[in-house]
Amino acid sequence: MDRYGTQKEREVSTERTYIMLKPDAVRRDLIGIILSRFEDTGLNMEAMRRLNVSSEQSSELYKEHEGKPFYANLIDYIHSGPVVATVWSGPSAVSIARKLIGATDPAEAAPGTIRGDFGLVLDENVIHGSDSVASAEREIPIFFPDIS
């Protein structure tokens, strides 16, 4: 197993994943280094755009968190500045991306992962990544309606 998964994981059929560099990553000029880490995995970038997340987009993206104590802060944070939305594809794209991203809480993320290296606190953890193929299929059209 290499740092991005086993050979068997890489042989699975091609899938897509949604990756969003959050406002703190953009503010801290981490775009280039983070995207280059994704390129190093062998995944292919299919789409990228820098944008300010709309209320409709944030509500749809984080609908599973609605009603939770941290929801309002999450929405305020995602609206605090521009993000970089991307779509990546390749064999086992979701699991490869999740391994690269690291644990949700930067304090628990391993060194060498994006959150382990760049995340500062749980509320500003640099990056969002789809947690499953089903999530990716739901999240991609929110930001890239032209991708089917």
Q: Are 136 and 18 in contact (CB under 8 A)?
A: yes
Residues whose CB falls within 8 Å of the CB of residue 85, separated by 6 or more in sequence, listed in order: 18, 19, 20, 47, 48, 49, 50, 51, 143, 144
**Looking at residue 122, what is its pLDDT?**
87
The pLDDT of residue 1 is 43
pTM of the predicted model as reported, rounded to 2 decimal places: 0.89
pLDDT value, residue 13: 76
Helix (H, G, I), strand (E, B) or coil at 22: coil
Residues of the chain with pLDDT under 70: 1-12
List active site positions. 128
Which CATH superfamily groups domain 7-51+83-143? Nucleoside diphosphate kinase-like domain (3.30.70.141)
Q: Rounded to a whole number, what is the largest CA-CA distance in the chain?
A: 41
* pLDDT value of residue 123: 85
